[in-house]
Structure 1
Amino acid sequence: MKLSELKEQTVAFVGSGGLDSCTIMRWLTDEGIKVICFSADLGQPDEPDIKVIRHRMESCGASEVVVLPLQEELAKVGIYIIQAQANYEGRYWNTTGAARYVLVKAVVAEMKRLGLDIFSHGATGRGNCQVRFQILTKMLAPSFKVYAPWRDEVFLKRFGGRHEMLKFCREKNLPINTVKEVSYSSDANLLGIAHAPSVIESLETRTHYIDPVMGCYPFEAPDEAEDFEVYFEKGFPVEINGAQVSTLEAIVHTNIIAGKHGIGIGINLIENRIVGIKSREIYESPGMELLGTCYRMILQLVLDRSSYELFEFLSNIISKQIYRGYWLDLTTQMAFRAIRRTAELVTGRIKVCLYKGNIEFVSAREISHSLYSADNSSLEKVGNYNHEDSEAMLRILEISAYELAIKGQVSDPF
């Protein structure tokens, strides 16, 4: 869509109250467009008072601001990501992708209730979120139209980048956080924070340039170690350090504990964006890192070799699918349903020790479906395993090795 197509229409704009949101809201309003702003309480750690977002967007010209309460839904999705161990490219817990999914689903439902059909957002034409917004909106509401100012030539002529937007906001006296907006941008929610471009685009900028919000860097963490214990029941954390917790409380509590010890803080990743370019991101996701690590410890106990290999394959698929915004298609449905079967086996208690960014295993107890046997794996003369039983197995296995050798298929790979 283009600006000219919005005349006499009401636009539903998804805004977080940041520089892009404030700029676009005021620009659309100045162009005579009626805009209803949709935002959400996603447990943003950098916005302790969610009312500030409402004030910013109203000050920028929104005819109405709808703030959706989505913390509990986001926490639940966060646990589903942990159950799938859906780390994109091995480092990123897909925290922003999760928030976009939860947000779009809630906004589209509210738009249908209000009779709106133009979904707008402030994601740039180089980033991932434009794809996530577009794909999710079209899957949930095929008839909806999507307006993205960063893909409209009229907007691009007016605003070449963040410096032009900052100047515009200052001229209009709009309520933005000028200190943060000048140096780098952050996208925050309950599950984590993604710090992106501006000064950290340079590969000569240290990770520590970023001021962490959800904790501290490992070198700044306490000199005293701390034990942490979590009890999972069918894939969900239900007890933290002896206290019963809801899914939301589990995320909140582990964010605090893990952040204190520098767990999951300052994760530097040069990642492959959906649009085909590489970008540098610095992440914070302390609770996800801690819970996710403890969860994997139980997986290692309950999954046999074949199921673990399949799990890893599905985990990789899910991490890429949700990174790209494909939460709702058949591939993701199938993969998550298979993962759910493994989650049903994850019941048990894990204790770890936290120290300066490290998570050290302490104990695993009450693991209902554990396949591990200390007796069977011992090198001592205990258990039911007889070393002599391996003889027949190895005679069978050596047949293929023998055939490969005599048929000239064996050589040094280096």
Structure 2
Amino acid sequence: MAKEKIVLAYSGGLDTSVILKWLKETYDAEIIAFTADIGQKDELDGLEEKALQTGASKIYIDDLREEFAKDFINPMFQAGALYEGQYLLGTSIARPLIAKRMVEIARAEGATAIAHGATGKGNDQVRFELTAAALAPELSVIAPWRLEQFREEFPGRAEMIAYAEKHGIPVTASAAKPYSTDRNLLHISFESGMLEDPWFDAASDENKGMYVLSVAPEDAPDQAEYIELEFDKGDCVAINGNKLSPLQVMETLNEIGGKHGIGRVDMVENRFVGMKSRGVYETPGGTILFTAHRKMESLTMDRDVMHLRDSLITKYATLVYNGFWFAPERLAIQALVGESQKNVSGTVRLKLYKGNVMGAGVKSPVSLYNPEIATMEADPTKAYDQGDATGFIHLNALRLKVSSGVEQNAKK
């Protein structure tokens, strides 16, 4: 009788390496490892050999970088998503793509369950499992960190390291790791360890070695750099005149932004599960793209369409952060966002200098800005009669006058 198959989201780190072996032994199952290449760079080196050595019957290492940029990052940036005013959702937006591919592999392999190494305290468990529920409700989900048996066996990292050594699992972790990281095409995050103290200065000179994608702003070049981003229907399609794919856009902007110390964020955020957590993020390319996109919209998007879309930013960002990427309400908002982007086309010029992204010009063949109407000089078009503003103000002031009169009478 064939063994049950379980597809495991596998990074090759201590947790998922131990979980792979533990699942195989505990469930007497065939474990199929899956790693999504979404821009981790050298973190993928040697994963296939390691997974098979640890006990996986097969491993998928799928290059999803172009899909990540085109179908996840771009739509999210079109929506102007920013969680709690700071976070560009680098980890959040990657999870639904990973889970989507896990579901596809599970169905292709005839697996009955998927598994992940997310802890019971974090957001990722929710993101993985809500995606699975939306796309493949028939699949079971195994979350070892929420199983009492697993937690009793592994109350801490020391026990996991000992287990790995006992079973010959190669790991580079130590019991005193100062922080944990998560890297992809959009960003890299740092949390836990020394960062759990919100008074700890993550940008101190002593901590410069932590950062991966960017130099410290004070170490960035003393000469500003100008770049031009070309947009078509809300997506960046060229940088400095060079046509690029969505993946190439992100890679190019990460390199440019990192050189100028752009995109560092240190924040205490509210997790979906109810606790606050401190995270440090590097998002150099995303910060440039987000800023440029907003400036392109300022020239080309209708005022009330922009205000309507903006009124949904908090809702949209929260949906992404909480794992509802495939929920009907996110898809509905995305449809509205897509309609709002049809004229977001043109070129934005930016000035980059020591951690700052500054506007330096914007132009578009479908610009809604008319200098002849907006001018403070004589209006040659006669499109705007300043005298019309008198009635406009009177009508908008009417309810204020009535309200004030009622309050004054009440005081008599």
Q: TM-score, normalised by structure 2?
A: 0.92
| Corresponding residue to 2:56 among 47, 52, 62 | 62
Instruction: Give CA-to-partner distance per residue, 1:192-233, whole Å, 9 cap, x none.
Output: 112121221111221223612112221221111101111001
Unaligned runs of 5+ in 2: none
Instruction: Give CA-to-partner distance per residue, 1:30-80, whole Å, 9 cap, x none.
Output: 544431111111111452xx3422233233222221111211110111111
Q: Which amino acid in 2 is paired with 1:391?
A: T
Offset of residue 304 of structure 1: 3.2
Partners of 1:242 and 1:305 in 2: CA distance: 29
8 Å contact from structure 2 (residues 7, 105) kept in 1: no
Q: Which amino acid in 1 is paired with 2:218?
A: F
Partners of 1:339 and 1:219 in 2: CA distance: 37
Partners of 1:318 and 1:264 in 2: CA distance: 21
Q: How many residues align?
A: 401
Seen in structure 2, the aligned counterparts of structure 1 residues 136 and 402 have a Cα distance that, compared at 3 Å, is same
Q: Which amino acid in 1 is paired with 2:256?
A: I
Question: Where does residue 323 of structure 1 map in the other structure?
Answer: 321
Partners of 1:354 and 1:180 in 2: CA distance: 40
8 Å contact from structure 1 (residues 105, 140) kept in 2: yes
8 Å contact from structure 2 (residues 5, 110) kept in 1: no
Offset of residue 382 of structure 1: 4.1
Question: Where does residue 228 of structure 1 map in the other structure?
Answer: 227
Q: Which amino acid in 2 is paired with 1:275?
A: V
Q: Which amino acid in 1 is paired with 2:275?
A: I
Question: Where does residue 113 of structure 1 map in the other structure?
Answer: 108
Alignment of 1:122-133 (within 5 A): 122-133=117-128
Offset of residue 284 of structure 1: 1.3
8 Å contact from structure 2 (residues 95, 128) kept in 1: yes
Offset of residue 323 of structure 1: 1.2
In terms of mean alpha carbon deviation, does 124-133 or 201-210 score higher? 201-210
Alignment of 1:340-359 (within 5 A): 340-359=338-357
Instruction: Give CA-to-partner distance per residue, 1:268-325, whole Å, 9 cap, x none.
Output: 1211111011111111111111111100001122233321221112222211111111
8 Å contact from structure 2 (residues 301, 341) kept in 1: no
Instruction: Give CA-to-partner distance per residue, 1:128-178, whole Å, 9 cap, x none.
Output: 000011111111111100001001111100112334324433554533333
Offset of residue 398 of structure 1: 2.5
Partners of 1:323 and 1:180 in 2: CA distance: 30
| Corresponding residue to 1:311 among 309, 312, 315 | 309
Question: Where does residue 199 of structure 2 map in the other structure?
Answer: 204
Seen in structure 2, the aligned counterparts of structure 1 residues 164 and 370 have a Cα distance that, compared at 3 Å, is farther
Question: Where does residue 365 of structure 2 map in the other structure?
Answer: 368
Offset of residue 8 of structure 1: 4.7
Q: Which amino acid in 2 is paired with 1:377?
A: A
8 Å contact from structure 1 (residues 104, 133) kept in 2: yes
Identity rate of aligned residues, in percent?
33
Unaligned runs of 5+ in 1: 1-6
Question: Where does residue 241 of structure 2 map in the other structure?
Answer: 242
Partners of 1:409 and 1:132 in 2: CA distance: 54
For the residue of structure 1 that corresponds to 2:177, the secondary structure is helix
Pair 1:99-2:99 in alignment:
no
Seen in structure 2, the aligned counterparts of structure 1 residues 13 and 84 have a Cα distance that, compared at 3 Å, is same
Question: Where does residue 378 of structure 1 map in the other structure?
Answer: 375
CA RMSD of aligned residues (A): 2.2
Offset of residue 17 of structure 1: 1.3
Offset of residue 378 of structure 1: 3.0
8 Å contact from structure 1 (residues 135, 325) kept in 2: yes
